[in-house]
Structure 1
Amino acid sequence: MSTSTSMEPLSARIPSDLYLWLAQLQVEGAATNSDKLRVLLGQLKRQHDGAFDYVTALAWCRDLVARLRDSLARLEESQGKHSEVLQQVLEHSCHSMALLISAQPADAAAAAQLENALLRRSFALTEALLRQATTAEANAFDPQVVNKHMPTTLNLAQAILVLKGALHG
């Protein structure tokens, strides 16, 4: 939201279904429809600005998953459980989306930079998940979730090692 202290009036006619939706919408820190519009326009501005800047896009993506983060915090508080796996995937998703949203490669070199950044982030997530597989149980709401999805990845990694060994041996 703008740091300007000046407020300007805004008037618009909207369809009744949108008005009813807005009236029932729960927006944190906004009680009235006017407050809700200010918050929602601020979010729209962050979305628009994020199309031009990675850091702004990342903040916007994190805003989009705020309900999920809050829900996970409540679960952690009430259940005494935390999921590093879910947190890593969530963080990876926000960063990857921010890269995609803010990217506008004008040439092959810029596209290659984007590709490199996305793959660097993807392999960092893979490494984090592989670290979770080094223990009997992953730090996750479902302690076996990593082990359930690991076999195909391990088979592919083994096949790559065999192939690379055959090519270089």
Structure 2
Amino acid sequence: MNDTTKTVPISGRISQDDYEFLMQQSFGGKVTASEKLRFVASFFRQYHEHFGTYAEGVEELNRIGEPARKNLRQLEMKQKVHSDLIDMAAHLLPQAIAYLASRQDPPADKEELPYLLETEEKLLSILLRVIEQTLRLGLTREAPTYNPRLLDDKLETISELVGLISERDHSPNP
């Protein structure tokens, strides 16, 4: 926070657990509860101001997920395993969430249907990529996942649904 920024005094109470949590956090040299509370309020404001676009949302979600991905990569290295499923989910799911979060400001009334149609189509595109990549994992006898048999018997329903859709699309119209 810029030291020349005008401040406004506030007063309030927080739970003992929240206070202890706040005081245990290291916020770039902030020591007092007031300094830390100012930092948290500033961070929260910036978070909401900068999460508005799709690209910023993907970046923020990737930043949030990075510690977990790092832990998983370290464990994979230690155990000498890898999961394409984890990689795919970590890459595509933040895209879907960021796109949805970036759709916060609906247009004027006359443009609502195109806005809804565009939102639906973009989310479908991302979800179809998830489905397609998941199906690709099931192409070989052993999936490139921690458990090579992970997809056994889990893709049968999807396969059946795709077959039914194919039959419907190739049957003569009544």
Counterpart selection for 2:124 from 119, 127, 139? 119
1:132 maps to 137
Deviations 1:91-112 (A, max 9, x none): 2210000011001342111111
Percent same amino acid among aligned pairs? 20
**TM score, norm. by length of structure 1:** 0.79
Whole-Å separation in 2 of the counterparts to 1:44 and 1:83: 36
Judging changes above 3 Å, is the alpha-carbon distance between structure 1 residues 7 and 142 closer, same or farther for their aligned structure 2 residues? Answer: farther
Stretch of structure 1 that moved more, 68-77 or 35-44: 35-44
User: Which residue does 1:82 correspond to in 2?
Assistant: 82
Q: Deviations over 1:109-137 (max 9, x none)?
A: 11111111111111111111111111111
Q: Which residue of 1 aligns with 2:46?
A: 45
Q: Greater helix percent: which structure?
A: 1
Is 2:143 the counterpart of 1:147? no
Q: CA deviation at 1:55?
A: 0.8
State how 1:31-110 maps to structure 2 within 5 Å: 32-33=30-31, 38=39, 41-42=42-43, 45-50=46-51, 52-103=52-103, 104-106=105-107, 107-110=112-115
Residue identity in the other structure for 1:45: Q
- The Cα shift of 1:73 comes to 1.6
Q: Shift of the alpha carbon at 1:160?
A: 0.9
Residue identity matched to 1:48: E
Q: Which amino acid aligns with 1:42?
A: F
The one-letter code sitting in structure 1 at the alignment partner of 2:86 is L
Q: Deviations over 1:128-161 (max 9, x none)?
A: 1111111111111122222342111001001111
1:45, distance to aligned residue in structure 2 (A):
1.6
1:42 Cα deviation from its structure 2 partner: 3.4
- Could you tell me how far apart the structure 2 residues matched to 1:124 and 1:168 are? 30
Structure (1 or 2) with the larger CA radius of gyration? 2
**SS, match of residue 140 in structure 1:** coil
TM-score, normalised to structure 2, is 0.77
State the SS of the aligned residue for 1:110.
helix
Structure 1 gap ranges (5+):
none
AA partner of residue 146 (structure 1): L
Q: Distance in 1 between matches of 2:48 and 2:79?
A: 34
Please state how far the C-alpha of 1:40 moved relative to its aligned partner.
7.8
CA root-mean-square deviation: 2.8
Q: Is the 8 A contact 1:57 1:101 kept in 2?
A: yes
